């Protein structure tokens, strides 16, 4: 059973460009979470999605950031007009359907975004 997959693993963008980060959850998992980790810091929650629905986006910046989890295909975290402060590691996690709070989240290897 493949784990959570993220691509690309490393992404370099110039200021003003768009960054697209992809996440494929574990097989059978329908809950997806995105977290951001700044250097030497813990992970900060960004957004929680189920198929075709954003459940909680309380951690997402109001501008330039968006996320989706379509019926088919991976979840996408999109950052428009990137700035240097967006440089971070972005982790995706997934958990099974049902009483999600009881289940641990399984994390992908992360995408390290560098904005030059």
Among 17, 26, 45, 74, binds another protein (CB under 8 A): 45
Per-residue mark of binding to another protein, 52-91 (x: CB under 8 A): ---xx-xx-------------------------------x
Q: Which of 18, 44, 61, 81 binds another protein (CB under 8 A)?
A: 44
Buried b (16+ CB within 10 A) or exposed e, 25-41: bbeebebbbbbbeeeee
- Of the residues 13, 31, 113, 115, which one makes contact with another protein according to CB under 8 A: 31
Interface with another protein includes 2 (CB under 8 A)? Answer: no
Partners of 111 in the beta sheet? 90
The closest of 71, 77, 92, 88 to 24, measured between CA atoms, is: 92
Taking the C-alpha atoms of residue 8 and residue 61, their distance in angstroms, rounded to an integer, is: 22
Give the interface with another protein as residue ranges (CB under 8 A): 4, 31, 33, 35, 41-45, 48, 55-56, 58-59, 91, 93, 95, 100-102, 104-110, 112
């Amino acid at each position: 059973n493949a784990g959570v997959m993220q691509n690309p693993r490393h992404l370099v963008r110039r200021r003003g460009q768009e960054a697209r980060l992809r996440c494929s959850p574990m097989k059978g998992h329908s809950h997806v979470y995105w977290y951001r980790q700044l250097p030497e810091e813990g992970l900060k929650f960004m957004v929680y999605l189920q198929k075709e629905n954003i459940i909680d986006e309380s951690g997402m910046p109001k501008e330039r950031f968006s996320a989706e989890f379509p019926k088919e295909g991976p979840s996408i975290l999109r950052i428009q007009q990137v700035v240097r402060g967006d440089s971070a590691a972005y982790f995706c996690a997934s958990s099974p359907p049902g009483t999600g709070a009881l289940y641990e989240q399984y994390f992908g290897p992360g995408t390290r975004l560098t904005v030059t």
